[in-house]
Structure 1
Amino acid sequence: MQWGQFLDHDFVHTPEASGVENGETVPITCCEDGVTEVSPNDPGNDCRPIDVSQDPLSTAQGRRCMRFVRSLVASRECLVGPREQMNQVTAYIDGSGIYSSSDTAALELRTHEGGLLDSSANPLPREGARPFLPREECEHSQDSVCYIAGDERVNEQPALTSMHTLWLRVHQMTASKLAAINPHWDDETLYQEARRIVGALLQQISYNEFLPVVIGDSQVRRFNLHSAPGHDNTYDSTVDASIANSFATAAFRFGHTLVKDIFQGSRGREVPLVGSFDDPHALREPDTGPSDLLAGEAGVDAEPIDAFLVTSLSHLLFAQQGDALGFDLMALNIQRGRDHGLPAYTTWRQACGLSVPFTFGALAGIMPSSYVDLFASTYSRVEDIDLFPAGLAETPAPGSLLGPTFSCLLAQQFSNAKHGDRYWYQNPNQPHPFTPEQLASLGRVTLAGIMCSHLRLTHLQPHVFLAVSYIETASSECFECGVSAAITTDRFARFHLTTTTTTRLIVDTLLQIASHHHLLS
C-alpha cells in the first residue's frame, strides 16, 4: 500500500475548490460543525456535504452532514461542456513527489550545493547519520514536528513520510557519488543527473516489481508494461499520458482497502493510524522510525482487497486520539466519483471489453453473492452502481490482486504513462538517453536493495511487495542486509542481493554515466 500511495502522489493530485474571504483564497467552510450545510465563503456553490442524518453513528454525535467540497475546476478552451478537474502535479512518473511539480518549490527544496536536497539531522541515534526530511511545524498538531517534501501530502500518515525519507536518502547518496567521481560538475548538473537516476529507478521498480503483483503478468504482457533490459523504442507521440479520471478517482484508490488500523514497528512497537493522520510524531521515537515502519509494513500482510475499509478509514479518517468520529473514506470516494461525473460501473465493464451485467442476478458471476445482495439492497438498478465499490467487489482476475475492471483501468493508464512519456528512462530517442550499460545497471536495482542500503535493517525479504508468508516463510527466502547470505532454494536465487551489491550497482550506474559525455551538454 505504501508504494501505491507514494506512486499515486507522484502523478495525481486533484485540489478542492477554494473560497474567498476579504479578497484572499481560503478553504471553503463546509459543514465544519457537522450541522451547518450552507457555506458563507463559497461563491461557486462548491460545498456539497454528504447527508449523514440517517447514520446512527453520526446522529449519536449530533452530526447531520459530512464535509465535502467539490474538486477545483480545470480551465477549458470552451466555456460550455462538462466540468473537468485539475491535476496539480505532473502526469508522469518522474519523482515530482520528491522534487515537486513547481519550479519555485523545487528550488526551495534544494541546498544549492553539491546537487543535494535540503534535509535535517536524524533524531534517532540508532539511525546514525542517515538524513531526515527538512522539518516544519505541524498545522494540526502544534506540539509535533512535520516534514517537507515535493508533495504537500507527505505527512498524511507516518509510513508515507517514511517512504519520502527513504527516497530523500537515495537522492543524497546518488548526488554525493556523482560529485565524488565528477568533481568538475556544478550543483545544477549534479542535481539534475541525480534526479534523472532517481526517476528511472521509480519507473523501473513500479513496472517490474509493483505492477506484476497488482494486475498480474497477463495484463503486464498484454499492455507491454514489463521493462526488459535495454532500450525500449515504444514511445508514441499520439498517446495522451494525462491521468484518466476513472483511474485517479476510483481504480487507483484500490489501495485504501489494503490499509490496516495499526502500523507495525520493531520490537513489538505499534503505531495506531488514528492519531497519526498529518502527525508523524512516531518517526522520532525508538522502534517506530522510518526503518522500523517500512520494514514492518514489508513484513506483514496487508488487509485483503474487498469492498470494505478498516475502522480507521471508514469511521475515523483524519481523527485524532480520543475523537469519537472522523470522516468516512468510502463515502468520500463514492461522492468524489460523482463529483467528477464518472460513468457507472457497467459502463466501464463495457469499455474494457468485459461482460456487462444488466440485472443484479448477472453480478453473481462477477463478484461474491454477498456483494450482490448488498448492491441490490442499496441501488435501484444495476446501471446505477458506482465504479469504486463495485470495482473492489469483483472477484480477482487470475494472478491479480484486482478484479478485471480495475486491472483493465490500471493497465491502460500505466500503458499511457509509459508509451506516452518522451522521457521514459528506456527511450533511446530522448535527449541524452541512458546507455545500454547504464540501463542494465539500473535494472538490477530492487526496492529491497534500496531499503537495505538506506534504512537500518538486518533482514528483508527480496521481494518487498510479497509478504514473507507468501513466499513460504523460510528464512532462506530473506537475505541479510550487508552480509552475503546464501539462498538455499533455486527459486529465489535470482533475488539474492546484499547492501554491498546494491550500492555497487548504483555506483556502477554513476561510473557509467561519468565515463560518457556530459549528459546535459
Structure 2
Amino acid sequence: MDPQNETTPATEEAVPGYESTADKPDRPGAFQRWYDHVTDDWSREKPWYELPKVLGLAQLIGIRDTLRQHNLYDTSRMPAVDATTAPPFEERFLTERTPDGSWNDLEHPEMGMANTRFGRNVPIEDTHRDDDRMLIPNPREISLRLMTRDELKPATAGNAIIASWLQFMIHDWFRHGTSPTDRPWVMPPVEGDTWPDPPVQVMRVPDDATTPPDATGPRTWINTNTHWWDGSSIYGNDRASQMFLREGAGGRMRLVDGLPPIPNDPAADPTRVPGFWLGLGMMQSLFTHEHNAVADHLAAAHPEFDDETLFQKARLVVCALIAKIHTVEWTPAVTAHPTAAEALHVNWYGLAGQKLHDFVATFSKNEALRGIPGTDTEDYGVPYALTEEFVAVYRMHPLIPDDFDFRAAADDAPTLGAKQFSELTGPHAVPILRSVTLGDLLYTFGTMNPGLVTLHNFPRGLQMYTRPDGKIMDMAALDITRCRELGVPRYCEFRRLLHLTVPATFDEVTSNTQWAAELAEVYDGKIEDLDLIPGVMSEDLPEGFAFSDTAFRIFVLMASRRLNSDRFFTDAFTEDVYTPEGMAWVRDNTMGTVLSRNCPELSPFVADLPNAFGIWKRAGA
C-alpha cells in the first residue's frame, strides 16, 4: 500500500465503552497477494462477464481486493486550514447517527461528516487539473455531436423508478455546494448551434475553503453532504434541517399534503435547487412515509421510548433498508448480469445466501461467508470518504426519459397525460406531487423504461435545462467540464489507473463503427484525449448492464466500502442498537414491500416481481 494511504494511529481520547480497532492489520497476506495478482492478470485476458458464474465471482473478488489496496487515496491529510471539526462527544452518539455525520468513526469523529473533503480512487498526483486543455475538445460540441438523443434507447429490463432512485441516492451522498457565478467556463461557439442565449457557460465548482492560500499541487473539494449512507436526502445534513422536517411526536416526520414540508424561505427551498424533479420528490415522499411506518411499529413495541429515541431508531432502520435495497435490488437491476447480481447479493448476504445468512451470522464474522453487515468495521488503512471518481461514474443522466405518459394504477386511464421532462423539474413538480396520488405517479414510472447510459441517449430536457432561477444549462457539457475541472483522469488514463487494458484506437473502445468514427473526428484522432464520460458511454455493455464495465469497477470498490466503513452497518448493526423489531424490519422488507405498504394499490404490480425495479405490467394487461 502506498505510504500516503496509511492511517495514522488514533490520537483522540478514548470513547467510553468503545474498543479500538487501530491495531487491526490492513495489509493482505501472501496468499491474498498472489490471488489478487493472478486475478488481475486473468481479468485482462478474459473479463469476468465472459466467464461462468463461479469463475466470474472469483475474479470479481480479486478485482475488489486489488482496488482496495491500490485505489483508495486520502485527501484529508493534505495541507488544510480551518478544517471542519466534530462537535463534542455525547454518549448517545454510540447508538444513533448524528445529523452532520460526525462520530460515525469513534476514533476519527470528523471522518465522513458534512463539509469534509472528497477522497480519490486514483493517485492524488494524477488529479491535476489541466487548465490549458479544459475546453479541448469543446464540451458543447461533444454534447451536440456525441450525446444528443434522437429517440430513447431503453434499458428494457428495468423501469424508470431506477432513475428516480439514483437521484434519491445522489442527494444522500454528495454535493459540491453552490457554484459561484464569477469566472464561468465559457464554451467556444459551435457552428449551427441553436443555443438561445450564447455563449454556453458552466459555472465552476466552489473552492475548498480549507486549502491554504499558498498551497500547490492537486486541488481538493468539499462534500457539503455527509459521506455516509445515512438518508440525508430525507433527513438533512444538520440539526436545524432535521428538526424542521420532524413532527415532534412519536418519532415521526412531518407530511404536508402527503409531502415533506417546504421552507417558506425560497433560498432554503430544496425544490429550487438544480437537480430536484418529480422522480426525486416521489422517493422522498415514499421514504418519509416509510419512516413513519417504522416509527409507529417501534412505538407499539416499545411504549417506553420517547420521541427522540423513536426517531433515531426509525432513522437507523430506514437507512439500513435503503442500503439493502440499493445493494440487492437497484444495482442488480442496472447490472442485470447473473454474475454481477450474485456478487452484489454476496455483499449483503455472503456466500451463504439469504436463506442461510442468519444461521451463518451466528458464528462467523467472515465477510465473504455472511456478507458485510454485522462484520467488523474496516477502512483498509484509508480514512473513509466518497471520491471524485465515484461522483464521476454516477453521472448517469441518460437513465432519465424525456417523455412521460401519466396514468392511473387502477385502470391505466390517463391522469396528467403526456408530459415532457422539462415540465417535471424544480417547482413545476410540486403541484403534481400534491395533486396526483403517489401510487399513480409510481405506477407511471414503474410501467416505463429508463434509458441506457450510452452515446446519443442524453435527455433533451437536460441538454437544454432551465434551472429554477431561469438560467439555462447543458448538463451534458457540464458533465464533461466537471470531470476535467475536478481532475478526474480522462478515459484511457482512468482505465490505466484502474488496472484495465487501455485502447490504442477508437475502434478498440467500441465495436460500433459509427461511434468510433464520430469519436475519432471529435477528438481529432487523439485517443488519450477521450473524456471519461463519452468513453464509458461508448463501451460495449456486459449482458444486462445499463452502463459500462469501466464504471462498474468503481462500484465494485465503493459499494463495499460504504458498508465496510460505516459503524452502523458493521459493529453497531445489532439488536441492541436497532432493536429486535428494527433488525427484523430490515431483514424482512424490500422495495416491493415498501411500495405495497405505503401505496396498497401497487401490490398487484410488485407482489410477484422478483425485483420491484423490473418493468411492471400495465393495469388490465
CA distance in 2, matches of 1:197, 1:5: 21
Gaps of 5+ in 2: 1-162, 362-372, 408-412
CA distance in 2, matches of 1:319, 1:135: 15
CA deviation map 1:297-345 (0-9, x unaligned): 111111233123121112245389xx9x932111010011111011110
1:402 aligns with 2:547: yes
The residue aligned with 2:207 is 72
Give the alignment's TM-score, normalised by structure 1. 0.73
The residue aligned with 2:150 is none
Q: Which amino acid aligns with 1:135?
A: I
Q: Is the 1:259–1:302 Cα contact (8 Å) retained in structure 2?
A: yes
Q: 1:271 aligns with which of 419, 437, 448?
A: 419
Q: 2:228 aligns with which of 81, 87, 92?
A: 92
Q: Is the 1:158–1:282 Cα contact (8 Å) retained in structure 2?
A: no
Q: 2:259 aligns with which of 125, 132, 138?
A: 132
Q: 2:247 aligns with which of 111, 114, 126?
A: 111
Q: Is the 2:200–2:473 Cα contact (8 Å) retained in structure 1?
A: no
The residue aligned with 1:391 is 536
Q: Which amino acid aligns with 1:303?
A: G
CA deviation map 1:337-381 (0-9, x unaligned): 111011110122223332211222332xx4522221121011131
Give the alignment's TM-score, normalised by structure 2. 0.62
Q: Is the 1:299–1:468 Cα contact (8 Å) retained in structure 2?
A: yes
The residue aligned with 1:260 is 401
CA distance in 2, matches of 1:236, 1:165: 33
CA distance in 1, matches of 2:613, 2:202: 35
1:206 aligns with 2:329: no
Task: Name whichever of 307-316 and 388-397 sits farther off.
Answer: 307-316
Q: Is the 1:154–1:164 Cα contact (8 Å) retained in structure 2?
A: no
CA distance in 2, matches of 1:155, 1:240: 29
> For the aligned residues, what is the CA RMSD?
3.1
Q: Closer, same or farther in 2 for the Cα pair 1:446/1:270, shift >3 Å?
A: farther
CA distance in 1, matches of 2:550, 2:486: 19
Task: Name whichever of 159-168 and 228-237 sits farther off.
Answer: 228-237
Superposition deviation, residue 116 in structure 1: 1.7
Q: Which amino acid aligns with 2:472?
A: G
CA distance in 2, matches of 1:87, 1:178: 33
Q: Is the 1:175–1:191 Cα contact (8 Å) retained in structure 2?
A: yes
Gaps of 5+ in 1: 19-27, 29-38, 40-46, 123-130, 141-145, 477-521
Paired residues, what number? 421
Superposition deviation, residue 217 in structure 1: 4.6
Q: Is the 2:298–2:582 Cα contact (8 Å) retained in structure 1?
A: no
Higher helix fraction: Structure 1 or Structure 2?
A: 2
Superposition deviation, residue 66 in structure 1: 2.1
CA distance in 1, matches of 2:273, 2:206: 16
1:358 aligns with 2:507: no
CA distance in 2, matches of 1:420, 1:134: 32
Task: Name whichever of 208-217 and 221-230 sits farther off.
Answer: 221-230
1:251 aligns with 2:384: no
Q: Closer, same or farther in 2 for the Cα pair 1:243/1:258, shift >3 Å?
A: same
Q: Closer, same or farther in 2 for the Cα pair 1:431/1:440, shift >3 Å?
A: closer
Q: Closer, same or farther in 2 for the Cα pair 1:298/1:234, shift >3 Å?
A: farther
**Superposition pairs for residues 175-254 of structure 1, below 5 Å?**
175-215=295-335, 216-219=337-340, 224-227=346-349, 228=354, 229-230=357-358, 231=361, 232=373, 233=375, 235-238=377-380, 240-248=383-391, 250-254=392-396
Task: Name whichever of 111-120 and 293-302 sits farther off.
Answer: 111-120
Q: Which amino acid aligns with 1:352?
A: L
Identity of aligned residues (%): 22
Structure with greater contact order relative to length (CA < 8 Å, sep ≥ 6): 2
The residue aligned with 1:304 is 452
The residue aligned with 1:9 is 171
Q: Closer, same or farther in 2 for the Cα pair 1:115/1:237, shift >3 Å?
A: same
CA deviation map 1:357-416 (0-9, x unaligned): 1222332xx452222112101113111111112112211123432221011112211121
**Counterpart of 2:229 in 1: which secondary structure?**
coil
Q: Closer, same or farther in 2 for the Cα pair 1:54/1:414, shift >3 Å?
A: same
The residue aligned with 2:11 is none
CA distance in 2, matches of 1:411, 1:8: 17
Q: 2:599 aligns with which of 455, 469, 475?
A: 455
Superposition deviation, residue 202 in structure 1: 0.5
CA distance in 1, matches of 2:210, 2:489: 22
CA distance in 2, matches of 1:158, 1:214: 21
Q: Closer, same or farther in 2 for the Cα pair 1:81/1:160, shift >3 Å?
A: same
CA distance in 1, matches of 2:619, 2:178: 47
Q: Closer, same or farther in 2 for the Cα pair 1:319/1:14, shift >3 Å?
A: closer
Q: Is the 2:274–2:468 Cα contact (8 Å) retained in structure 1?
A: no
Q: Closer, same or farther in 2 for the Cα pair 1:178/1:278, shift >3 Å?
A: same
Q: Closer, same or farther in 2 for the Cα pair 1:445/1:429, shift >3 Å?
A: closer
Superposition deviation, residue 167 in structure 1: 0.8
